[in-house]
Amino acid sequence: MGATTRRLTEISAAPHSGDLFLKLSLTLVPRYTKPLLRRAACNNKVHKKPMERWAAAVSDYEALRKELPHDKEVAESLFHAQVALKKSRGEEVLNMEFGGEVEEVYSREQFKAAMNLPGVSVIHFSTVSDHQCKQLSPFVDSLCTRYPSIHFLKVDIDKCPSIGNAENVRVVPTVKIYKNGTRVKEIVCPSKEVLEYSVRHYSG
């Protein structure tokens, strides 16, 4: 056991040590997930304005998702915190459900409806035969799990050439991000890092 961890363990065992333990562990060991879980869970109890409270909870749960990527409770808590944050901002949260999957789009009508969903929609244009698309698709699936308040969709432009033509997609993979019906970002052949940065940026 390292000196820092040993000291934190001693503090946590002392009477009335909760706040001190939490502050020290978050400062000394940024990746100490137990206190981060406690702080995230407590953000709905402290006396803050709703928007500040939920923004803090979202930030903590996003950090926890990086440390615990397969923890379903953390993923669901992040989702509910994101929904609550959107509500506190006066944004619409209709048809938002936890545990969604990347939705495949088969028609222009379905595509238009998806574009106009409240909140953020990420649309991945691809083809089955393209090697880079094959590499990116599993990563988009993982983003869908990690950012559950965002709508993720995919369009195979070989199956739906009319959508590809209407959206002027000439190269795959192309990713377009819409917010409340307005396109805010287009990325052609994105790296995983660039794609996740963009998703995270517009998810807030």
Please say if the pLDDT value at position 203 is more than 60.
yes
Please say if the pLDDT value at position 134 is more than 80.
yes
The residue ranking higher by pLDDT, 188 or 91, is 188
pLDDT of residue 7: 45
**Domain ranges for the chain:** 3-88, 103-203
pLDDT of residue 163: 95
pLDDT of residue 118: 80
**Strands of the chain, DSSP E:** 103-104, 120-126, 151-156, 174-179, 182-188
Helix or strand run (H / E) with residue 202: helix 192-203
Question: Do residues 143 and 196 lie in contact, with contact meaning Cβ atoms separated by under 8 Å?
Answer: yes
Please say if the pLDDT value at position 79 is more than 70.
yes
Among 37-46, 67-76, 94-103, the range with the most confident prediction by mean pLDDT is: 67-76
Residue 35: asked if its preceding bond is cis (omega within 30°), the reply is no
Please say if the pLDDT value at position 142 is more than 60.
yes
Please say if the pLDDT value at position 81 is more than 90.
no
pLDDT of residue 40: 66
pLDDT of residue 100: 65
Q: Give 56's contacts (C-beta < 8 A, 6+ positions apart).
A: 43, 48
- In order of 67, 152, 155, 187, 197, the CA distances from 191 in angstroms are 22, 17, 19, 9, 10
CB atoms within 10 A of CB 14: 10
Burial class (CB in 10 A: 0-12, 13-18, 19+), 109: exposed
pLDDT of residue 73: 75
Q: Which CATH class is domain 3-88?
A: mainly alpha
Measure the CA–CA gap between 94 and 34, rounded to whole angstroms: 33
Fold match flag (3-88 vs 103-203): no
Q: Which tens digits make up the pLDDT trace of 39-62?
A: 666 665 554 577 888 888 888 877
Q: Which tens digits make up the pLDDT trace of 181-200?
A: 899 999 999 999 999 999 99
Please say if the pLDDT value at position 170 is more than 80.
yes
Measure the CA–CA gap between 56 and 68, rounded to whole angstroms: 18
What superfamily would CATH give domain 103-203?
Answer: Glutaredoxin (3.40.30.10)
Question: Do residues 155 and 123 lie in contact, with contact meaning Cβ atoms separated by under 8 Å?
Answer: yes
